[in-house]
Each structure stands twice: as structure tokens, then as C-alpha cells.
Amino acid sequence: MNSIRGIDNHERLDEELYHDFETDDARKKRLARETKELEKLEKTFSQKGDNAALLETKKKEMEVKRAAAASKGAKVFYKVTVKDNGMGMPDKDIPNLLGRVLSGTKYGIQQTRGKFGLGAKMALIWSKMSTGLPIEVRSATRKQTYIAYYKLDIDIHKNEPHVHVHKEKPNPQKWHGAELSVTILGNWQYYRAKVLRYTRQIAVITPYAQFSFHYKAEDERNSVNITFVRRTKKMPPPPKEVKHHPASVDLELVKRLAATTATSNLQSFLFKEFSCISKEYAGRLIDEMRSGADVETRPGELDNKQITRLHQLLHEAKFKEPDGSHLSPAGEYNLRLGIMKELNPDMVATHQGDARVLEGHSFIVGAAVSIGGRDIKPGINVYRFANRIPLLFEGGSDVITKTALKRINWAAYKINQGSDKIGVFVSIVSTKIPYKGAGKEYIADDMDELVHAVKHAIQQCGLQLKVKITRQQAAREQKLRRKNLTKYIPNAAAAVFKVLQSMAQAPAVGDKRRRLEAEEDILSPVTRGETVEATLAQRLTEYVERIDTDMALEYQMQQGVAEAARQDVYLMPLGAQHEYGAELHSNVCVLKLLQPA
């Protein structure tokens, strides 16, 4: 690391200055403690009779722990590289895109991925603070014949990019996209699970993307190489930018819009800068202001009192709610496909709710609930997504976690909350996610409209799973019932045949016996050898299968399987006859037969 930063490596002159210095007494105590632990380990293995290879493995584990404890205070630096094959960044714009933290007026709102819009800049600043090294950038657009290479950092005080190196490199492969490399201080051992969990959840919510993760360790055995394959080419439509809804703006935004608008009068300002306001409605709002402004007043000439009155009126008046057509949810298809690809559950149900409105911002909640699967712990496992980005931290305070754990009666859907492996996936998309906290790691739980939408989406998934679980239970019980009945068929057939043989050999006594023989003729086939024990066993097997099917159908009807959504199914007639007769109703279907020609 020092060689990369241009610093010479110096030998220590005063060991006592360093935090890893160990006095003679401390070293003696440590060695005595390690010797005692080793003797205890050898004694335990000798008593159990375990082999020497296992003992050596345990000794190596102890050595690794000692080495880890010794290097606990040592700083570890990592070079992180992210590369894509996207549209790339224009050469001349790269310094300002990555080396300047911008702030400006938003003339519209749009669903965006991420939380702050500062990801690359935050990585650059973290690199500068921890190592002092600049970031390396390679980028090329589709029309660009070369690869633009930059080595730059940011002047934090002046908020300006500082370019160390700028080159144009050949691009024979006609690659396009961006590649960023940054050297940072980190702790892979601590955050390894979180990094892998994050990448896996990205693969769940974006099954239409293929990406790889590689971690190269000093010991190749500890390296990690994972590729998340693409399973579909069906992508969600891109989100659209829309004007601000009147109910969503704050006072400062109204001031900025009024100061920068290109419109010449107040009526046009309200009509063109905001959504859901017609020209006629804009005139009515201006009349309602009663603050000295009229339809011809220039927006830039409004004083503070007039703008404050306008802002108040925008929040008090009623407007048409945004329809949510500008949002881009992942969709049930992609969410289901991603879960099946990464978790391989036994069953999964998905639901996407309608667009709703919260404080002037439309939002859509999509949910999925899975049962079983790999790498899923028993109980409820919650996976949260905001604008298709996983949320990993502070989950206990999130509306999704609280709803899944406290507001859903899982037993009503035949799901055992304690023992079943339940995966709850909820994705919320909006032009403004109602985060709580500066880190934007969890979503507010104090908004009734959002709570109701999340709960409704999970409940709809539960209803779908209830139908599947009921069918599964019915099939399992039917199989068990058939197995139990079939097990006794040979004994029952043998006993019945023995009784019939005894009756056939005895003389017919009494009117009832003679009448039964005349009507049913049961004993004659036994006497002639036509009915044998195997014949009875075959008849009993056929009867068990028939009655078992009838009982299973009746059981399913009682459990409500038939209450699931019904679907019309049509069979194309062979001829031109399309006249139908009366409906024939049964427990499972309704038939409408063709009238005879």
C-alpha cells in the first residue's frame, strides 16, 4: 500500500510506540494460556479416540484465530472495480460527473434507482479520506472510437475535480460502458455476508441482468467467484419524468420554480410547471389566492407572502391524483422469476397492487411470498426493496418488516410461522420513497396508506398460497389414505373369500338365503371357481381407488379449493353447430353442451 501511495517502508525504531507491542510478561501469559489450551485439546482427543488428522486441523484453526487476533488492529486495503457495458460517459463530462457534487433545481420528478445519487462520488471521497488515492475511470460511448482514461479525485473544499491523468486509449473491441476502480480501507471478513446478500438480492429483483462478483484473496482457496445468470430479456419499462404534483411541493421548491420558470404569467406557470392542473383550474386557484396577484402576474414578481399563500393553497385545494403510469415496478413476472432462480422454493405467490398516492407522490407495492428453498432459515425471512434497490440495514423499524412479523396472521393461510421457511419479498417503487433516518435504510411505518398497501399485497400472496397448500395437503392425505387402505386389501380379500367358500359349501337354509342366491348369484361363481381370492383383491383395489377419488374431491370442496377463481374454458366444435343447451352443474364445473343438429 505504501508503494502505491509513494511512501517508503521504514523499520520501527521504537516498538513501544505501536499498538501491537507486547511486553515480556504479556507474552509469557499468552504462551502459557496457549499451551494450556493445546494440552486440554490433546487430552480431549485422546479420551475420545479421535484421529490425529482431526487434531491437526483443530490446531491449525487455533493458529488462525491467534493470527487473526494479532492482526486485529492492522488496516486492510482493497481495490474495488465496477465495470458495465452500458451507454458510457462522454469524455469531456467525466471530471464533472465524478469530481463535483452538484446541487440544482429539479423541474420534474422521476423514479430513480439508488438513494442519494452520489454513489460514485461517495466512493471517491471515501478513498480520498482513507488512502488519499485518486479514482481510476475508463469509459467509452457507442459512437466513441477510443477509451477515455482518467485518474482523478475531488477537491472537497472547492468542490472541484482534480484530474491527475487524462489519456485516450485504443478501443479495438469497440467496447462501450464504464469502469471505475477505487482503493479503500475495508473489512472483508466482517462485511462478506452482507456483500454477498446484497448481490444476491440484486439478482432476485433484476433477473433480466447478468453480472458477476469476484473477490481475489491472497490464498486462492478463500477467493469468491459468483455469476448471476440472466433468465429473461423482459425488462420493466423505463420510468418517465413528470411534473410536480401540487400536493407534493414544499415552499422552497415553489420559490425556485417561480424564480426559474420560462412562463410569462401565473396562470401558465401553474398549468405548465405542475401536474393535474388545467388552465381553467389554475384561474380558479389564482382567484382564490386573494393576495394581490392575478392571472397575468409574472411568477418572478411574486413576493414572499404571495408565494406562501400559493403554497398553502396548493396543499389545501383538491387535485386529481397521479395515476402511477410514470412508475416502473419490477412486475410479478420478474419478481417470481428472480425468486425461483436464486432460491428455488417449493412454492411462490406474487401480487402487484394498484397505484396509490402518498403526499402527492404515487407509489406501487409488489410482493411475493415463498415457501421453502435453499439458504432460507425456518421462520419469516424479510427481503426489502425500494425502487428496485435492496435495503439491508435497520430492518426492524421498517414498515415491511413490521407488517410481515406483526400484522399478518400466517396461520389463516395454513403457514406455520415458526417452522416453515417463509420468504417475504416486498418491493416499493415511487417518485419519493418515504425513508426514515439520514442513512435511508428503512421506510416509515407511520403512514396508514403505505401500511395498508404493504399488508394487502402480502395478504393476496397468502391467499394464493393457501389454495396451493390446501391442494398439496389434500393430495398428501389422499395418498396416505390410499396407502393405508391398500395395505389391508390382501387380508380383507382372503377373509371374505374364506367366508364365501364356507357359505358355498353349506346347504341353503331359510327363505332369505334362497332369495339372495336367486337375486345376486354370489356363491355360484365361487363354487365354479370363477371368483377366487385374486378376483376379490382386484375388485377391492378398484373400489378403493374410486371411493378415494370421490372422498378427495369432497374434502377439497370442504376446504374451499373450489372457491378459487374460476376460468372459462372452451372446446372448439368440429362442425358449424354453435347452439348450446341448458347448463349442467356439478361440484367442480358447469357444462354447456351443444344442441344436436
pLDDT of 517-572, one tens digit each?
A: 777 777 778 778 888 888 888 888 888 877 766 666 665 555 554 444 456 666 66
Residue closest to 122 by CA, chosen among 95, 151, 99 = 99
481: phi then psi, degrees, rounded to nearest 5: -65, -45
Q: Which residue has the higher pLDDT, 510 or 412?
A: 412
Spell out the alpha helix ranges (H) of 290-356: 304-316, 332-343
CB 306 within 8 A of CB 291: yes
Residues whose CB falls within 8 Å of the CB of residue 356, separated by 6 or more in sequence, listed in order: 324, 362, 363, 364, 365, 449, 453
DSSP strand E in 242-346: where? none
| Identity of residue 427 | S
Other beta carbons within 10 angstroms of residue 390's beta carbon come to 17
Integer Cα distance of 232 and 337 in angstroms: 8
Helix 279-289 to helix 266-273 angle, to the nearest 10 degrees?
A: 130
pLDDT score of 365 more than 90? yes
pLDDT tens, residue by residue, 213-250: 999 988 888 899 999 999 988 899 888 888 888 888 88
pLDDT tens, residue by residue, 570-587: 666 666 666 777 777 766
Integer Cα distance of 138 and 167 in angstroms: 10
Integer Cα distance of 597 and 578 in angstroms: 10
pLDDT score of 104 more than 50? no
CB 85 within 8 A of CB 177: yes
CB 202 within 8 A of CB 335: no
pLDDT tens, residue by residue, 133-189: 889 999 999 988 999 999 998 888 888 889 999 999 999 999 999 999 998 888 888
pLDDT score of 46 more than 80? no
Which pLDDT does position 105 carry in this prediction? Answer: 43
Query: C-alpha grid cell for residue 495?
Result: 377373509
Task: Please report where in the chains the cell 404571495 appears, as a residue.
Answer: 306
Which pLDDT does position 125 carry in this prediction? Answer: 82
Integer Cα distance of 13 and 18 in angstroms: 10
Integer Cα distance of 479 and 485 in angstroms: 10
Which pLDDT does position 562 carry in this prediction? Answer: 46
Query: C-alpha grid cell for residue 19?
Result: 499498538
Percentage of the chain lying above the pLDDT 70 cut: 84
Angstrom distances, CA of residue 590 to CA of 471, 550, 567: 21, 18, 11
Integer Cα distance of 515 and 507 in angstroms: 14
CB 392 within 8 A of CB 436: no
Split at pLDDT 50, 70, 90, the class of 371 is very high
Which pLDDT does position 563 carry in this prediction? Answer: 47
Integer Cα distance of 47 and 238 in angstroms: 67
pLDDT score of 454 more than 80? yes
Query: What integer is the mean pLDDT of 402-416?
Result: 94
pLDDT score of 82 more than 80? yes
Which pLDDT does position 504 carry in this prediction? Answer: 79
221: phi then psi, degrees, rounded to nearest 5: -65, -20
Angstrom distances, CA of residue 15 to CA of 244, 320, 554: 63, 73, 84
CB 387 within 8 A of CB 366: no
79: phi then psi, degrees, rounded to nearest 5: -100, 115
Distance of CA 111 to the CA centre of its chain: 18
Which pLDDT does position 505 carry in this prediction? Answer: 80
Query: C-alpha grid cell for residue 231?
Result: 433468465
Spell out the alpha helix ranges (H) of 171-250: 188-205
Spell out the alpha helix ranges (H) of 317-447: 332-343, 399-402
pLDDT tens, residue by residue, 482-529: 888 888 888 988 998 888 888 878 777 777 777 777 777 777 787 788
Query: What integer is the mean pLDDT of 101-106?
Result: 56
Which pLDDT does position 228 carry in this prediction? Answer: 93
What is the DSSP-derived secondary structure letter of residue 376? -
Integer Cα distance of 140 and 448 in angstroms: 47
Three-state DSSP state, 489: helix
Return the exposure string of 335-365: e unless at least 16 CB atoms fall within 10 Å of the residue's CB, then b. Answer: bbbbbbbbbebeebbbbbbebbbbebbbbbb
Residues whose CB falls within 8 Å of the CB of residue 355, separated by 6 or more in sequence, listed in order: 322, 323, 324, 325, 327, 362, 363, 364
Split at pLDDT 50, 70, 90, the class of 455 is very high
**Residue-by-residue DSSP string for 451-469:** HHHHHHHHHHHHHHHHHHH
Integer Cα distance of 132 and 5 in angstroms: 8
Task: Please report where in the chains the cell 493470527 appears, as a residue.
Answer: 67
Residue closest to 455 by CA, chosen among 418, 394, 401 = 401
- The CA angle 156-159-163, to the nearest 5 degrees, is 85
pLDDT score of 415 more than 90? yes
pLDDT score of 416 more than 60? yes
Write down how long the chain is.
Answer: 597
What residues form DSSP beta bridges with 211? Answer: 228
Split at pLDDT 50, 70, 90, the class of 201 is very high
Integer Cα distance of 420 and 409 in angstroms: 14
Averaged pLDDT score across all residues of the chain: 83
pLDDT tens, residue by residue, 294-321: 888 898 888 999 899 999 999 888 888 8
Three-state DSSP state, 102: coil
